């Protein structure tokens, strides 16, 4: 098919260019037209044969309904069966503009438009060219975005030409689209109005007119398996560039630290304007960080740009979800298949008595690449020869706890420190702050690179190390199992094993404060237990 491309600068309804575009529509053909959101692929909404051509040209699934575009509020009555007062208030506030309302449908609208639903989507665009073409055609126009299904919505005429040339009768060139993401879709056919697709008219703006408006969970989350989409369009895989996009949440500094630590894993950055020079990757930008309208304007174009560059793995900055940012995030999260990278690693503190199998659990938890920090080893490090902690201990417990080389006589210190409660407290008051400081410093390094940390700490709670953890795990096992494990591991008698366990009774009580309690009994499959817990 020969596609006529008509550039329209003058937008009087009577202008020859506008009339030519309208002629195609009156003849039952398709015309791609600019709107303030994205380009639309229009057909006479009352003509089911013309509407069928839209689905053919786009390769669009038949069960995804279209939006009907009008040029005057009064036309709503020829399309909707009922027009609630709320709809009129919304129209007064935001029409013409990037807002679509779902209302009960009149029979005049063919099933092809509404995909068999009892409701219909209606919008009055503000773009002067769209407005003029609708008026000149003399009928409401059904129009989805003018892209091949599964591709990004077109925000410039060249995008439409790329996708639709030869497939449709006419493409109207009206320059770049202002908003760049599709209209806000709100349904008024539920008891509480519901935001189905966020756009340039924000949730806050809807609530200012309507009172409470619910946000459909599918706006920022993947649709749960088997769930029915409130808006059929949400169930389809939307456009994502050929590259895998991973979103790095956090501040720019955190983003940068992540990129630096994982530089081999990406070939492009999708970032905000002005950040390019600081990021050590080739960059594509998507607007300014503080201005979501510039982000929406650029988003789809930036996807097409990444594809043209052949990008494979993209580290993307996370925009704010506020205001128009909700619409930006809705499109971006889908394009990224909801892949988020943790800027900051998590610190998981693990405690458990002797023989509970704490170390096995730590190793299992670290399988996904987490680093293990052993608090006992740190305790030994801070009492190394010449350390300030050692000097304090000598002062408190007698200088003879150091041998002639200045090394700590651990047994002697233990015999003095564990003689009574007060002495024990004196010991921990001296050592704990240094242990915590060293563990914290080490953990922080990993965490800043996005690496998770497993902190293996027998005295997690009594030492106060739990304070530096994001979550805590207590590993337990029945006493007889623990006794057996200790006897085997340390080649000690049953009596000795029981004695050790009894010495830890108080510590075990503290451990019960942990966020997670893992039963590591005799035949426990610890990987399976972790998989089934919320630890992963």
Using CB under 5 A, list all residues that contact Mg ion: 145
The alpha carbon of residue 516 and the mean position of all alpha carbons in its chain are separated, in whole angstroms, by 25
Task: Indicate the residue among 21 and 185 with the shorter CB distance to ligand TXA.
Answer: 185
Q: Given the complex with ligand TXA, which of 58 and 358 has the nearer CB atom?
A: 58
Question: CB of residue 159 vs Mg ion: minimum separation in angstroms?
Answer: 12
Q: How many CB atoms lie within 10 A of CB 414?
A: 13
* Cβ neighbourhood burial of 534 (10 Å; 0-12, 13-18, 19+): exposed
Question: Judged by CB, which is closer to Mg ion: 145, or 296?
Answer: 145
Stretch that binds ligand TXA, among 59-67, 76-84, 210-218, 352-360 (CB under 6 A): 59-67
**Contacts (Cβ under 8 Å, ≥6 apart) of 149:** 58, 59, 60, 61, 236
Question: 494-503 vs 479-490: helix axis angle to the nearest 10?
Answer: 120
Rule CB under 6 A: say whether 28 interacts with ligand TXA.
no
Residues in contact with ligand TXA, counted by CB under 6 A, come to a total of: 27
Q: Is 64 in the site for ligand TXA (CB under 6 A)?
A: yes
Beta strands at 214-215 and 194-197: parallel, antiparallel or unpaired: parallel
What is residue 291's DSSP assignment?
B
- The residue whose two tokens read 């409130």 is 230
Q: Does residue 66 touch ligand TXA according to CB under 6 A?
A: yes
152 touches ligand TXA (CB under 6 A): no
Nearer to ligand TXA, 81 or 392 (CB): 81
Decide: is 378 part of the binding site for ligand TXA (CB under 6 A).
no
SS (H, E, C) 285-311: ECCECCEHHHHHHHHHHHHHHHHHHCC
Site for ligand TXA in 165-204 (CB under 6 A): 182-183, 185, 196-197
34 contributes a contact to ligand TXA by CB under 6 A: no
**Residue number with CB closer to Mg ion (39 or 315):** 39
Nearer to Mg ion, 180 or 355 (CB): 180
Residues 6+ apart with CB under 8 A from 431: 379, 382, 383, 389, 393
DSSP 241: -
Task: Find the residue with minimal CB distance to ligand TXA.
Answer: 233
Shortest Cβ contact with Mg ion: which residue? 145
Determine the Cα–Cα distance for residues 142 and 66; give it in Å rounded to an integer: 6
25 contacts ligand TXA (rule: CB under 6 A): no
Assess 231 for contact with ligand TXA (CB under 6 A).
Answer: yes
- Starting at the edge strand found earlier in the chain, the sheet holding 347-352 runs 371-374, 453-456, 347-352, 471-476, 516-519
Using DSSP, state whether 43 is helix, strand or coil. Answer: strand
**Which of residues 145 and 202 has its CB atom nearest to Mg ion in the complex?**
145
Nearer to ligand TXA by Cβ, of 120 and 136: the residue is 120
Q: What are the tokens at 66?
A: 């279209």
CA distance 256 to 152: 28
Q: What share of the chain is helix, strand, coil (3-state, %, to 5)?
A: 45, 15, 40
342: closest CA among 417, 258, 421, 420?
Answer: 258
Closest to 239 (Cα-Cα) out of 315, 159, 320 = 159
Of positions 17, 30, 35, 201, contacts ligand TXA by CB under 6 A: 35
Residue 333's nearest CA partner among 217, 226, 187, 449 is 217
Beta-sheet strands, E only, within 119-198: 119-123, 141-142, 170-173, 184-187, 194-197
120 binds, among Mg ion, ligand TXA, none (CB under 5 to 8 A by kind): ligand TXA
Q: Is the peptide bond before 96 cis (omega within 30 degrees of 0)?
A: yes
Select from ligand TXA, Mg ion, none the partner in contact with residue 37, using the beta carbon and a kind-dependent cut-off of 5 to 8 Å.
ligand TXA
Q: How far is the CB of 229 from ligand TXA (least distance, A)?
A: 8
Nearer Cβ to ligand TXA, position 121 or 447?
Answer: 121
Among 8, 31, 37, 311, binds ligand TXA (CB under 6 A): 37
296 binds ligand TXA (CB under 6 A): no
The residue range among 2-10, 119-127, 250-258, 432-440 that interacts with ligand TXA, by the rule CB under 6 A, is 119-127
CB 121, min distance to ligand TXA, A: 3
The reply on whether position 143 binds ligand TXA by CB under 6 A is: yes
144 binds ligand TXA per the rule CB under 6 A: yes
DSSP-based three-state secondary structure for 240: coil
* 45 near ligand TXA (CB under 6 A): no
State the Cα–Cα distance between residues 13 and 446, nearest whole angstrom: 64
Rounded CA-CA distance 243/76 in Å is 42
Considering the rule CB under 6 A, would residue 426 count as an interface residue with ligand TXA? Answer: no
Contact pick of 121, 247, 364, 408 for ligand TXA (by CB under 6 A): 121
> Minimum distance from CB of 238 to ligand TXA (Å)?
9
**Of 154, 233, 353, 357, the one binding ligand TXA by CB under 6 A:** 233
List beta partners, residue 373.
455
> What residue ranges bind ligand TXA (CB under 6 A)?
35, 37-38, 40, 64-67, 100, 102, 114, 117, 119-121, 123, 143-145, 182-183, 185, 196-197, 231-233
């Amino acid at each position: 098919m020969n596609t006529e491309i008509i550039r329209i600068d003058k937008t009087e309804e009577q202008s020859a260019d506008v009339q030519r575009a309208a002629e195609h529509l009156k003849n039952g053909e398709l015309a791609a037209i600019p709107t303030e959101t994205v380009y639309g692929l229009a057909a006479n909404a009352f003509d089911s044969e013309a509407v069928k051509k839209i689905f053919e040209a786009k390769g669009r699934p038949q069960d995804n309904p279209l939006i009907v575009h009008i040029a005057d509020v009064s036309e709503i009555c020829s399309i909707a069966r009922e027009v609630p007062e709320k709809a009129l208030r919304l129209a007064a506030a935001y029409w013409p503009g990037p807002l679509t309302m779902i209302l009960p449908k009149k029979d005049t609208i063919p099933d092809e438009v509404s995909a068999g639903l009892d409701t219909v989507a209606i919008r009055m665009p503000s773009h002067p060219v769209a407005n003029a073409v609708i008026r000149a055609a003399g009928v409401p126009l059904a129009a989805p975005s003018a892209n091949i299904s599964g591709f990004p919505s077109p925000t410039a005429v060249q995008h439409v030409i790329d996708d639709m040339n030869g497939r449709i009768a006419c493409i109207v060139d009206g320059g770049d689209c202002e908003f760049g993401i599709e209209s806000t879709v709100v349904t008024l056919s539920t008891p509480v109005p519901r935001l189905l697709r966020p756009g340039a008219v924000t949730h806050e703006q809807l609530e200012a007119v309507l009172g409470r408006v619910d946000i459909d969970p599918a706006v920022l989350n993947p649709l749960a398996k088997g769930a029915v989409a409130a808006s059929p369009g949400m169930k389809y895989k939307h456009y994502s560039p050929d590259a895998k996009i991973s979103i790095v949440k956090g501040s720019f500094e955190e983003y940068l630290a992540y990129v630096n630590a994982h530089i081999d894993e990406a070939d492009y950055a999708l970032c905000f304007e002005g950040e390019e020079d600081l990021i050590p990757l080739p960059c594509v930008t998507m607007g300014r960080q503080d201005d979501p309208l510039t982000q929406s304007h650029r988003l789809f174009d930036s996807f097409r740009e990444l594809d043209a560059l052949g990008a494979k793995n993209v580290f993307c900055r996370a925009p704010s979800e506020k205001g128009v940012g909700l619409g930006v995030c809705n499109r971006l999260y889908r394009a990224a298949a909801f892949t988020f990278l943790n800027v900051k690693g998590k610190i998981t503190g693990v405690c458990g008595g002797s023989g509970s199998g704490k170390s096995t659990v730590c190793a299992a938890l670290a399988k996904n690449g987490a680093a293990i920090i052993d608090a006992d080893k740190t305790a030994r490090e801070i009492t190394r020869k010449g350390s300030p902690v050692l000097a304090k201990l000598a002062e408190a417990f007698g200088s003879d706890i150091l041998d002639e080389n200045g090394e700590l006589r651990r047994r002697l210190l233990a015999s003095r420190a564990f003689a009574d409660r007060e002495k024990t407290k004196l010991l921990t008051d001296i050592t704990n702050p240094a242990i915590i400081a060293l563990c914290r410093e080490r953990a922080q390094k990993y965490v800043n690179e996005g690496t998770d940390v497993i902190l293996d700490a027998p005295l997690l709670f009594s030492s106060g190390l739990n304070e530096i953890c994001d979550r805590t795990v207590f590993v337990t096992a029945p006493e007889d199992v623990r006794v057996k494990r200790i006897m085997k591991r340390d080649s000690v008698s049953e009596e000795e094993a029981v004695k050790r366990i009894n010495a830890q009774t108080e510590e075990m009580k503290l451990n019960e404060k942990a966020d997670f309690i893992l039963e590591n009994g005799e035949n426990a499959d610890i990987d399976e237990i972790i998989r089934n817990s919320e630890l992963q």
